[in-house]
Amino acid sequence: MWQTLLERILKRLIVEGRLRVTWPDGTSRDYGPGAGPEAEVTLTDDSIIGELCQNPALALGEGYMDGRIDCPPHRLYAFIALLVRNQQSGKMPSWFSARDRMRVALRGIEQRNNPLRSQTNVKHHYDISDDLYRLFLDQDMQYSCAYFTDPGISLEAAQKAKKDHIAHKLLLKPGMRVLDIGCGWGGMALTLARDYGAQVTGVTLSENQLATARRRAEEAGLADKTDFRLLDYRKIEDRFDRVVSVGMLEHVGYPHLREYFAKVHDVLAPDGVALIHTIGHTAPPAPTSPWIDKYIFPGGYIPSLSEVSAAVEKSGLWTSDVEVLRGHYGPTLNHWRRRFEAALPKVRELGYDERFIRMWRLYLVVCEAAFEETRQGVFHVQLSHKQYAVPTTRDYLYGTHEQEMLHAAQ
C-alpha cells in the first residue's frame, strides 16, 4: 500500500528532470519527464516508504542518516536539488500543504524561545566542537554567508569582503562603541576592532564560542578593544554607537522579532546605525523543516521579508537601506561542503560516527539546494534613529578603505 502511494506522489511531484528510485526489492523505476536534471536514490528498507508518505521532510533526513535511504555522496546534491526544485512546481498531496499552513499559523507558539530555551538551542549546535568547525570554515571561522565580489575568489577572500561590506554600512569612526549581537567566534568583532578602530562588545550564548573569542582577542592583542560576554541579547542595557548582528536573527524565533528590533532600538545611540545580516525568504512565510528543527537548529526560524519589515515598522527605527544578497550563500555552502568531505578522515579522528557524518553532509547539501533552488537569500537591513544618520545614496559603500579612514579622522 505504502509503495503504491509513494509512487503516486512521485509521479505528481517530479515534473522536471528525472528521478530513478531503486526500491527495497531491487526493482528500479524512473519518475519525471526527463530533459532536465537527473538523480538516483536507493531505498534499502521497507519501513522508510510509509514514513516518507506521512512526514517526508523528517523521514528523508532520518532515513539518509541511518542508511535506509542511500545515495552516493557525490550524487547527493543532485538528488536533493531535484526534489527541492520540483517541490516548487510539482504537486504534493493536499494534506502536506495543509500541514505546512497549520505550522505557519502556529509559529507564534512553536517558536517561543525564552532565554533558557535559547541557550539550550545554541548549545545543541554551537557547543559540539570548535575543532569540527575549523575543518570546513575559513581561517576566521565565519559561519555565515560570504560575499563573492567575484565568483572565482577564495572563501577566505569572500568572507573578508563580507566583513568589509558590513563595516562600510556601519559608517565606523575610530573609537566608536559597537555591539555585536551573536558574535560567534569573534571574527567580526576582531575585524572591526583591528581594521576600523572600534571598541566592540560581543554577546553570545555559546560557551565554546565565548572561550574561543576571548582567546583569539588575547592572541591578537585586542583584549583591550573587545569585551566578549555570555549574555542573552534581551539583557543588554548599555548604549552603543553602532549595532551589528550577523546570522543571529534566525535564532530569535518568529514571536520575538518585534522584541529583538525593540532591543536594537533601545541600545542604539540617537545618531547610531545598525546593520542586521540574516537569512530570509523573499516568498511568503514558511515553516522550518522538521528535520532541521530536530537535528540541526532547534528553535530556528527563517523569516520572510514581510515578517522582518513588520517587526521593524513597530520598532520606531528608520529602515535606511535593505539589500538582498542573492547567489552568495549557495557558493559559500558549496565551499563548506567540499571542505567537509575532504576532511572526513579528521572528522572521524575527532570521534564522529558515520551517522553524524551523513547528518552533517545532508545539512550542508539541503541548505545549499535551498539557496540555489528556492526564493531564499540574505537580507542586509540597515537601521537608524534619524533619517540623515546614513548618506542618502550608496556611493559611500564603494570608496576605498583609506579614504574612509581619512574622512572618519577629520
3-class DSSP state of 228: strand
Residue 109 one-letter amino acid: I
Structure letter (DSSP) for residue 304: B
For the record, the C-alpha cell of 79 comes out as: 538528488
Strand partners, 278: 379
DSSP 20-76: EEE-TTS-EEEEEEESS-EEEEEE--THHHHHHHH-HHHHHHHHHHHTSEE--HHHH
Q: Edge-to-edge strand order for the sheet containing 38-43?
A: 28-34, 17-22, 38-43, 69-70
φ, ψ dihedrals at 368, nearest 5°: -60, -45
Active site residue 71: no
Question: Residue 230 in contact with residue 205, Cβ under 8 Å?
Answer: yes
Is the sign of the CA dihedral 116, 278, 164, 266 positive or negative?
negative
User: Cβ–Cβ contacts within 10 Å for residue 330, how many?
Assistant: 19
35-48 per-residue burial string, b: 16 or more CB within 10 A, e: under 16: eebbbbbbbeeeeb
- For residue 17, give the H/E element and its range: strand 17-22
Residues contacting residue 287 through CB under 8 Å, at least 6 positions apart: 100, 103, 104, 107
* Annotated catalytic residue, options 71, 145, 183, 367: 367
φ, ψ dihedrals at 102, nearest 5°: -65, -40
Strand partners, 70: 42
Distance from C-alpha of 32 to C-alpha of 79, rounded to nearest angstrom: 13
So which residues are the catalytic ones?
367
